[in-house]
Amino acid sequence: MTISMYQAAIPVLTKVLGNLAGILEKAEAHAAAKQIDPAVFLQGRLYPDMYPLVRQIQIATDVAKGGAARLAGQTPPSYEDNETSFAELQARIAKTIAFLQTFTPEQIDGSEEHAVTLKVGGKEKTFQGLPYLFEFVLPNVYFHTTTTYAILRHGGVELGKADFLGSH
């Protein structure tokens, strides 16, 4: 059995972002139930030198949409990074999922050896498609999703492993 680049990318990214949206729903409900200012969570971070939750979600969505677009040989769309509420973050996630769903297997499959060049940490870096997906895109999306989960869990939001993994 083989797996295609499309199968390894689009359904996985879509599921992770959908799970992220579910985690945010729980956080918003928790904030409302406990009468906690949503900004406490939206600007929450695990350590002072880490990005706040809002930025974690912006990066996760940027990497997901950028990964799909670059594997398909397209320029990724640019988002403004100006979200300040749960609703705006949910809209960003939904917009990213909708973008991911525009790709077809024909656009992504066969991109294993395509050169992908982007700026990482202010420096230009070139990957081949397969390592780009498995060593950059997926780990980054999981890292920023996990960090979002950890910020919210640390803040008292009742989340469990099933929220992160989603239903199978």
71-103 exposure pattern, b = at least 16 Cβ within 10 A, e = fewer: bbeeebeeeeeebeebeebbebbeebbebbeeb
What is the phi/psi pair of residue 126, to 5°? -115, 130
Q: Residue 4 has what pLDDT?
A: 95
Q: What percent of the chain has pLDDT over 90?
A: 95
Give mean pLDDT, residues 3-22.
Answer: 97
What global pTM score does this model have? 0.96
**1, pLDDT greater than 80:** no
User: Could you read off the pLDDT of 107-138 as tens digits, one per residue?
Assistant: 999 999 999 999 988 999 999 999 999 999 99
Higher pLDDT, 30 or 2: 30
Q: Residue 62 has what pLDDT?
A: 98
Compute the distance between CA of residue 64 and CA of residue 40 in angstroms, rounded to an integer.
26
Q: Residue 31 has what pLDDT?
A: 97
- Domains of the chain, by residue range, sit at 5-165
Strand 115-120 relative to strand 123-128: parallel, antiparallel, unpaired?
antiparallel
- CATH number, domain 5-165: 1.20.120.450
Helix axis angle, 86-100 to 5-33, nearest 10°: 170
